[in-house]
Amino acid sequence: MTAFHSSDRLTALRARPHADVLIVGGGINGLATFRELALQGIDVALVEQNDYVSGASAASSHMVHGGIRYLENGEFRLVREAVQERNRLIKNAPHYVKPLLTTIPIFSTFSGIITAPFRLLVTHGRGKPRERGAVLIKIGLMIYDTFSRDGGQVPRHKFHGRTRSIRALPRLNGSVKYTASYYDASMHDPERLALDVLADGLTAGSDASAENATARAANYTSLVGFTDAKAILRDAVTGEEFPFAAHTIVNASGPWTDVTNAALGRPTQYMGGTKGSHIVLDHPELLAATAGREIFFEHSDGRIVLIYPLKDRVLVGTTDIDATPDARHICTDDEIDYFFELVAHVFPTITIDRSHIVYTFSGVRPLPRHDDTLPGFVSRDYRIEHGWLGSVRTLNLVGGKWTTFRALAEHLADETLTLLGADRRSHTRATPIGGGAGFPTGRAARKLWVAKHGAQHDPRTIETMLDRYGTRATEVLAALPTSPTPLAAHPEYFREELAFLARSEHVVHLDDLLLRRTSLAFRGGLTAETLTEISAAVSDELDWDAQTQLEEVERATATLRDAHRVTLGKPGVGG
């Protein structure tokens, strides 16, 4: 967890307002490209208009997957790359990415056999989606296994009939004909994984002085114009604007790519995103019914829903609705009803209502413009568009998904290196990410790691920190006293731990901690008292006086309510 102190957020950019490369966008793809270029020794800077990983990257389904359904769109290159990257992430980020058994309940044998190839070859996603039957899913999984063969990280798929399916999942709908089970991977802390990617980049470009660092990043900093061959950057906290020069500008702002280009004076129409929403349920009965596996279900209209056990909660998603990034998107009542309908079809004897919802989230996928193509069939692949701003070169990333972030960043970095006339010094295909370096994956290795670091702390505390931060837990543990102070209502987190995060991870607002540095909001149960306690715990690190603490609690309360439908201290969401 390389120090990128909150008070130094913009110091390095202001002190030396130029770089070889300026990356606009601090989602996972921008951060991964930042890491790639920093590891090649390139002088690179990154700015993000809000907090890191707070846009499209914050609305993921918490999965690392090849996208078996993309085979139906003919996106074989993307699926192959995604499966390879999934296997690499299991190796390189074992602290956050782990194999996940996924089961598809199947209620038809032959459905989709005619419509799938017709849509692929003729209609290009304009036809009405149809449920996929057992034969079509079997073919897809056989291809999927072929793509997975070289990685060797996960077993091959298995097909079971109704009897064995019900035996494994007793609460499953009794009309199921088959289940298909295969492995993808879970990503239980995507925001923390992204912060590790950022920290790797900062470490690679670190120097004794901030002014001489060759890798610099700032959140809450937006690109608002382009004048005299320089980008105009604005500090969202103070409103201050200053020019910043770069040889190449990489636009990795996801759904906001066209917005960024408009600010640069080069309007484009590259993007055409779709909205995806999720709900998080505190429902022990449904959690037990999943038997620890993701249930990946296809509705009769061909749309997808996943039911996914995560952090003692159940994540249900996702929708796929045409949307633009120019408004705050929330999970609507219609989407919640849609989720409830589908969960009831998979597990008809389990009752779910709004009182079980502890958190919701919604975001716009950074998909290419797709005109009349149905949202579910828009390509999830990516492309790179070249351009000029006078003498300044530009690269625009169009598309991209969480699973392929490393490969995408590798391609984008290679294009950038070519423009700079620089050579690649190293590859990241086998490079551990953040706390994945030296992470103990076996029981014996884990026991040894805990014993090695157990001189000053209780073994349970060490294990908790190891699970939460990987091997970067050593830095957190070093900041904790022998007897750290647990939060009153959430004793799984310590006040000193949150102070360390606030000090060392560019935290600007209280909601940065609640939503992205920790899982406090995701798991639910927050109260006004908890927010007050946390703001007090980090106030010294962030120089917050009593009035600022109050304002931050009010801001976080409004964000939870307006963006995530969370009312502090009350279960469920409004009907």
Q: From residue 415, give the alpha-carbon distance in Å to each of 36, 418, 475.
A: 12, 5, 35
pLDDT at 295: 94
Shared-domain flag, residues 29 and 69? no
**pLDDT at residue 3 is higher than 90:** no
Say which CATH number the domain at 298 has. 3.30.9.10
**Does residue 118 have a pLDDT over 70?**
no
Mean pLDDT of the chain: 88
Judge whether residue 549 has pLDDT over 80: yes
pLDDT reported for residue 112: 43
DSSP helix/strand/coil, 296: strand
Does one domain contain both 78 and 163?
yes
Q: Would residue 344 count as lying in a domain?
A: yes
* Residue 391 and residue 482 in one domain: no
**Judgement on whether residues 160 and 70 belong to the same structural domain of the protein:** yes
For the stretch 364-381, pLDDT in tens is 888 887 555 555 555 667
Q: Please check the confidence at residue 163 and state whether its pLDDT lies above 70.
A: yes
H/E element holding 414?
A: helix 405-420
State the pLDDT at residue 287.
97
Domain membership of residue 430 (yes or no) is no
Statement to judge: residues 454 and 342 lie in one domain: no
Tell me the CATH number at 46.
3.50.50.60
* The pLDDT of residue 375: 54
**268 located within any domain:** yes
pLDDT at residue 123 in the model: 39
Of 537 and 206, which is predicted with more confidence? 537
Let me know if residue 374 belongs to a domain: no
Q: Which of 575, 498, 486 is nearest to 535 (CA)?
A: 498
The whole-number pLDDT of residue 370 equals 59
**Percent over 90 (pLDDT), the chain:** 70
Burial of 116 (0-12, 13-18, 19+ CB in 10 A): buried
Do the domain assignments include residue 426?
Answer: no
Residue located via tokens 């990983």: 53
Determine the average pLDDT of the residues in 241-270.
96
The token duo for 180 is 């298909």
What is the per-residue pLDDT across 475-496, written as a single tens digit (0 to 9) for each? Answer: 999 999 999 999 999 999 999 9
Indicate the range of 128-132, 396-400, 560-564, 569-573 predicted with least confidence: 128-132
Tokens of 200: 């790797």
Answer yes or no: is 572 within a domain. Answer: no
Q: How far apart are CA 528 and CA 507, in angstroms?
A: 20
CA distances from 480 to 485, 502, 504 (A): 9, 14, 14
A 10 A CB-CB count for 213 gives 21
Specify the pLDDT at position 523: 95
pLDDT of 574 reads: 57
Show the domain range for 545. 441-564
pLDDT at 65: 83
pLDDT of residue 454: 80
Residue 200 sits in the same domain as residue 130: no
Do 510 and 386 reside in the same domain of the chain?
A: no
Question: Quick one: 413 and 481 in the same domain?
Answer: no
Name the strand (E) or helix (H) holding 463. helix 459-469
Q: Is the pLDDT of residue 68 over 80?
A: no
Per-residue pLDDT band for 117 (boundaries 50, 70, 90) equals very low
Element (H, E) at 164: helix 162-168
Are 260 and 385 members of one domain? yes
Tell whether 372 is covered by a domain: no
Give the range among 99-103, 210-214, 271-275, 428-432 with minimum mean pLDDT.
210-214
Q: Which runs of consecutive H residues, i.e. helices, occur in 169-241?
A: 190-204
What per-residue confidence (pLDDT) applies to 152?
Answer: 57
Beta strand spans in 16-82 (E): 18-24, 44-47, 63-64
Residue 572 three-state SS: coil
How large is the average pLDDT for residues 323-331?
Answer: 79
pTM of this structure: 0.92
- The better pLDDT of the pair 69, 469 is held by 469
SS (HEC) of 480-538: CCCCCCECCCCCCCEHHHHHHHHHHECCCCHHHHHHHHCCHHHHCCCCHHHHHHHHHHH
Q: How confident is the model at residue 455 (pLDDT cuts 50, 70, 90)?
A: confident
User: What domain count does the chain have?
Assistant: 3
Residue 120 banded pLDDT, cuts 50, 70, 90:
very low
Residues 280 and 212 in one domain: no
At 106 the pLDDT is 87
The torsion region of residue 375 among left (phi > 0), alpha (psi -120 to 50) and beta comes to alpha
Q: 296 and 181 in one domain?
A: yes
Whole-number pLDDT of residue 142: 82
Give all strands (DSSP E) within 294-389, no chain letters.
294-298, 304-310, 313-317, 321-322, 357-364, 382-389
- Could you tell me if 507 and 447 lie in one domain? yes
Is 340 domain-assigned? yes
Least confident of 142-156, 357-371, 497-511: 142-156
Asked if the model's pLDDT at residue 113 lies above 50, the reply is no
